[in-house]
Amino acid sequence: MADAIELIKADHRTVENLYQRYQSSTTHTQPQSAIIQEICQALVIHAQLEEAIFYPVVERRLGKEGTRVITEALKEHNEMKRAIGQLQASALAGPECDRVFREMMKGAAPCKGGRKRDATEGPATTRR
């Protein structure tokens, strides 16, 4: 489980770094759209890992509270997947693409400070 948690945390750092690159880009150029696609791909893989490996463990270890946490996380994943579908559609470009992408990233932001709490930071990950 510790290796899975480290992998998930590394995914978070990768997406954060890519998003910082995106934010520092000032034009809607091919490299910016390439960053969006790279982030989308990383988020899809990340969600698959969480849903297949991590969430079942959290749910088992935390019981009803785990079910509540995972239900909310799955809703967020579904919203993210819907946004990824829009971003990967060839018709979405320019300001609309930027709006959908930024909105998706607000929901995908790992938590630190006032941001959304990362599921790998809860008590289920520290119990054996």
All residues at 6 or more sequence positions from 68 whose CB lies less than 8 Å from its CB, including other chains: none
Residue closest to 17 by CA, chosen among 1, 31, 38: 38
What pLDDT sits at residue 24? 83
What pLDDT sits at residue 93? 72
Name the stretches of the chain with pLDDT < 70: 1-2, 26-30, 90-92, 109-128
What pLDDT sits at residue 127? 42
> For 36-50, what is each residue's pLDDT tens digit?
889 999 999 889 989
What pLDDT sits at residue 114? 33
What pLDDT sits at residue 113? 34
- Give the total number of structural domains in the chain: 1
What pLDDT sits at residue 68? 95
Query: What amino acid is encoded at 74 in this protein?
Result: L
Domain that residue 86 falls in: 2-125
